[in-house]
Chain A
Amino acid sequence: MEMAQRPAETKLTKPAIDWRGRLLDRAPFLVACLMLALIIGIYGGLQSGVFSLDELNLDTAAAMTLMLAATGQTIVLVRGGIDLSIGGMISLGTVIAATRFTDNPSTTALWALVILALGFLIGALNGLLISLLKLQPFLVTLATWSILNGVAMIILPTDGGSVPGWWVGFASAQLIGLTSPVWMLLALLLFWWWFRATRVGIAIQATGSNEKSAFLSGVSIARVNLVTYGLSGLFAAGAALFLVTQTGTGSPTIGKDYILPSVAAAVIGGVSLFGGRGHLAGTLIGAFVLTLIGNLVFVLHVSSYWQPVASGVILLLSVLASSVAEKAARNRVQ
């Protein structure tokens, strides 16, 4: 048998690692880390006791609702989509919790499960509509956002209701000095580390990177959409369940405050709006950045209206950093 000859001069050697390329790939994430360090530095300089476990516990609790919402959004963005309906789902989750949770733990647990299941199902429905009707995710989730918002209003027209004290207490429950939000943060990272290495996780990323190629490779795009948006809805429901530990009540309008920040957190953390690229670690850092900006504005004793201004500037800087890195990387290829 004639063996295929390897072309001369292109011997299979163990190639050197492309360190510069790797660095450029991670540039947006590194920039986000730098920003966080800077903000913590300034914050710590102005306020005593910033570098403590208590502060970590407090800030993580403050950021956790956004983190949960942004986790779902990150999965959707990596798929190359966007999910606006999480706003409606969070509102709906809080009003169901505020009207149905009782002092009876088993009733409450049951309703918590119902909220989570509802989140997944509504998200999956988003995914189904996007695949079947071949509609833009933006439009489909805009519509479901409006619907869910309406339903939340019907259930509870104004802020009100309450969740039992023991549910509120969950957020301050401690294990070896760390409160449950910090443990949730670690759990989210663990989840991501696992999820992105599974075949489903890879298929979602691949579909976001190039849908046609993914299809030609045998990926079921409909199934990818179902899982992607289902998970996003599930995390939004989780965000609602956590949110009521912070507010203690239900609100039919509170969810909208998490839609764009969830996208902003991901983008600050280096997740691409065009799909295919991004890690949850970046998103979580982005969520911390957005939350700590609020603290910083507070200790600077300036009007709280400076918070959105600062968030916007940071968002612009992050986008700039990724685009500069992207250009540098592209020039290397050519």
Chain B
Amino acid sequence: MDLVTVKGLSKRYGGIVALSEATFSARAGEVHALLGENGAGKSTFIQILSGAVQHDGGSIMVDGQEYRPANPDAAQARGIAAVFQELSLIPDLSVEQNIWFRHEPRTLLRTVNRGEMRRKTLALLEKYNFPALRPDQELRRLTLAERQIVEIAKGLAKDPRILILDEATSALPAREAEWLLKLTRQLAAEGRLVIFISHRMAEVRAIADRLTIFRNGSTVAAHEADAVSDNEIVTQMIGRRLDRLYPERVPTATDRIALGVKGFSSGSRLSGVDFALREGEVLGVGGLQGHGQRELFQSLFGATRASGTIELWGNQVSISNPRQALTGKDGIALVPEDRRGQGLLLTKSVRENLTLSVIKRFTENGLLSRQKEAALVKEMVDFLRIKAGTPEQLAGTLSGGNQQKVIFGKMLLTQARVLLLYDPTRGVDVGTKREIFQLMRDLAAKGYAILFHSSDMPELVHVADRVLVMRNGRIAATLEGDHISEEEILRAAMLETKAA
């Protein structure tokens, strides 16, 4: 019998229909993948299941009984736990306090029993072979990947019968992602139902028993995983045939060096990086996570202090803060890793987000020209095909893909011509991914120079003209032409190269 049966589920936010007549059924002991573009209704669906929001219509049966959780607590009481993409962790609590938050073992004085909590934490981490975590470390000291792992531990700590993993692998480096996939199978083998959401087809293929596809707020299809092809899945997800994810790679690089970097060092994470990014080039930056990629992007943008020389379009420049990086035409702009935290003001409108850092461009005699602003905003919204009701829609209410487009627009409006893209497709749906790659190639053809990091290796392989592989804060290898492959990147990232 099915553990979960959903019929006719509907949810509206004001005038926007997030879910209409969605159906879903899943059994205990299976890994059930949920597929669909961003904005297809997956997020709303799992928010309802986990009690974060309540549905307007339809019914959910869990174990043959009506299920309508008023809040996340009520969901947990019925054995349903979610590992959210937008994490539910508390920055100022320690790892173990986060894992057991609100379910802490207690002493007679009603205070937290720290010894017991430590013992339970280690037992949990050991049982599921978690990557190393320090139970007493404060969460805000952890990297995004480590936080994601804590979030997973927090979900498991409730010993749920149904565990929802929302894009849990997207923040994880390759090895940890692989661990999570195996863990998922282990949980299913223990008789739990794992509802698994991922934009990575290979992962879904590797672990899902069955899958349900959402589109435009409704269920399009449900399949046994081995009875359906990748092409059929993708077609059903986007409702049209997606010819190719990656655009054709036409070399557009000139000999002119846009960004020349020599002896670039920062703290212990970046030690002596040299490279040259050319006009019209998409230069990939790869390697295992945590080998200096983040620091490289942050330092080039002036957000982290670094030493070494930077030549921008042939002139030596010093960049000690983002303002200097963005200054003038042809400067440097960054699409940051943490879209919601660093890139966007979620409670501001699309228009405000786009124009905030370029107010000068439509100021005349010290006054704001609303007309000029509106024209620029319209140009960007059209150019990037940002799906917003009006330019006044709040950025926080857009889908992940559209938020990322707003960040691109913001960056393009600065008139920077050296673009630093740090994992720009993280948590973005397939359709938008494709648009972003096409945009990158188009921009390169227009003479922009693009430095591009992705945590998804195939993206580097298929989009970049050359790939820098980083190891221990250095460039371990530069791959070109036919040498760009996942295998070569991994080899350079993991193996010692011969001394040059």
Do A and B truly interact? yes
Chain A residues within 8 Å of B, Cβ to Cβ: 1-13, 15, 17-18, 21, 25, 194, 197-199, 202-203, 205-206, 208-210, 212-220, 276-277, 329, 331-334
Q: Mark B100-144, 1 if CB is under 8 A from A, else 0.
A: 011010100111100000000000011011111010111011110
A4 touches B128 (CB 8 A): yes
Closest beta carbon of chain B to A133's beta carbon, Å: 18
B182 at the interface (CB under 8 A from A): yes
Cα distance, A208 to B143, chains bound together (Å): 21
If A11-B132, A15-B134 touch, does A4 touch B186 (CB 8 Å cutoff)?
A: yes
A4 touches B129 (CB 8 A): yes
B-chain residues with CB within 8 Å of residue A205 when the two chains form the complex: 90, 92-93
A277 touches B186 (CB 8 A): no
Task: Work out how many contacts link A and B, with CB atoms closer than 8 A.
Answer: 129
A209 touches B90 (CB 8 A): yes
Question: Looking at the complex, which of B10-18, B172-180, B198-206, B361-369 is the stretch in contact with chain A?
Answer: B172-180
Cα distance, A6 to B71, chains bound together (Å): 34
Chain B residues within 8 Å of A, Cβ to Cβ: 52, 71-73, 76, 84, 86-93, 97, 101-102, 104, 106, 109-112, 125-126, 128-132, 134, 136-138, 140-143, 154, 175-176, 178-180, 182-183, 185-186, 189, 267, 269, 294-295, 298, 304
A-chain residues with CB within 8 Å of residue B182 when the two chains form the complex: 2-5
A276 touches B132 (CB 8 A): no
If A12-B132, A15-B132, A333-B140 touch, does A219 touch B102 (CB 8 Å cutoff)?
A: yes
A7 touches B175 (CB 8 A): yes
Cα distance, A25 to B93, chains bound together (Å): 12
Closest beta carbon of chain A to B368's beta carbon, Å: 28
Contact of B132 among A3, A10, A210, A334 (CB under 8 A): A10
The 5 closest A-B pairs by CB, nearest first: A7-B175, A197-B111, A216-B88, A276-B92, A218-B73
B111 touches A194 (CB 8 A): yes
A198 touches B110 (CB 8 A): yes
Cα distance, A331 to B455, chains bound together (Å): 22
> Which of B109, B126, B132 has the most CB atoms of chain A within a 10 A radius of its CB?
B132
Closest beta carbon of chain B to A323's beta carbon, Å: 15
B109 touches A194 (CB 8 A): yes
Closest beta carbon of chain A to B171's beta carbon, Å: 14
Cα distance, A199 to B103, chains bound together (Å): 8
A-chain residues with CB within 8 Å of residue B104 when the two chains form the complex: 199, 202
A210 touches B90 (CB 8 A): yes
A-chain residues with CB within 8 Å of residue B154 when the two chains form the complex: 217
B-chain residues with CB within 8 Å of residue A218 when the two chains form the complex: 71-73, 76, 102
25 A-B contact pairs sorted by A residue (CB < 8 Å)? A2-B182, A2-B185, A3-B182, A4-B128, A7-B175, A7-B178, A10-B176, A12-B126, A15-B137, A21-B138, A197-B111, A199-B102, A202-B97, A202-B101, A205-B92, A205-B93, A209-B93, A210-B89, A213-B88, A216-B88, A218-B76, A218-B102, A331-B267, A331-B304, A334-B267
Cα distance, A4 to B184, chains bound together (Å): 8
B-chain residues with CB within 8 Å of residue A215 when the two chains form the complex: 72
Cα distance, A71 to B97, chains bound together (Å): 24
Cα distance, A12 to B141, chains bound together (Å): 18
Cα distance, A15 to B136, chains bound together (Å): 10
Cα distance, A9 to B71, chains bound together (Å): 39
B138 touches A6 (CB 8 A): no
Cα distance, A47 to B128, chains bound together (Å): 64
- Residue of chain A at shortest CB distance from B97: A202
If A4-B183, A198-B110, A276-B91 touch, does A18 touch B76 (CB 8 Å cutoff)?
A: no
Closest beta carbon of chain A to B261's beta carbon, Å: 19
- Residue of chain A at shortest CB distance from B84: A216
Contact of B143 among A6, A277, A333 (CB under 8 A): A333
B-chain residues with CB within 8 Å of residue A213 when the two chains form the complex: 87-90
B-chain residues with CB within 8 Å of residue A203 when the two chains form the complex: 102
A-chain residues with CB within 8 Å of residue B111 when the two chains form the complex: 194, 197-198
Cα distance, A18 to B137, chains bound together (Å): 8
Closest beta carbon of chain A to B24's beta carbon, Å: 21
- Residue of chain B at shortest CB distance from A193: B111
17 additional contacts (CB under 8 A) given A12-B125, A216-B72: A2-B186, A3-B129, A3-B182, A4-B129, A4-B183, A5-B178, A6-B131, A7-B176, A7-B179, A15-B134, A202-B97, A202-B112, A213-B89, A213-B90, A216-B84, A217-B88, A217-B102
Closest beta carbon of chain B to A107's beta carbon, Å: 34
Cα distance, A51 to B143, chains bound together (Å): 48
A-chain residues with CB within 8 Å of residue B91 when the two chains form the complex: 209-210, 276
Cα distance, A199 to B154, chains bound together (Å): 16
Cα distance, A202 to B73, chains bound together (Å): 16
Cα distance, A318 to B165, chains bound together (Å): 43
